[in-house]
Amino acid sequence: MFAVSVTNTNDELTLGEPKVLFEGEFAPGLFGFVNYDVAADGEAFLMLQQLEGSEVSIVVVLNWFGRVETTLSRR
């Protein structure tokens, strides 16, 4: 991930030198999606870092409240 300063003078954009923000092995994005997110205030990133010799897996549970409700009602 790189950062580049951008200056707009008289409707002409000038780009600065790219600077490395992060180094390391980060998990690749899947199916064309990015593998990171930026905090609403723009001050922090959330990235998945792949540890050596490990696999990355994320489980997303949809309607988790409904599943909890169903489980509790069976008791």
What residue numbers bound the domain in which 40 lies? 2-73
- Which residue, 1, 75, 73, is CA-closest to 36? 1
Beta strands in the chain (DSSP E): 2-3, 6-9, 12-15, 19-20, 36-38, 45-47
pLDDT of residue 40: 87
Cα separations in angstroms, 57 against 10, 31, 41, 75: 48, 14, 27, 31
pLDDT tens for each residue of the chain, 75 residues long: 888 999 999 989 999 999 998 887 777 777 777 778 888 888 888 877 766 776 666 777 787 777 777 777 876
pLDDT of residue 56: 62
Q: Strands 45-47 and 19-20: what pairing?
A: unpaired
pTM of model > 0.75: no
pLDDT of residue 16: 94
pLDDT of residue 73: 80
Q: Say how many domains are in the chain.
A: 1
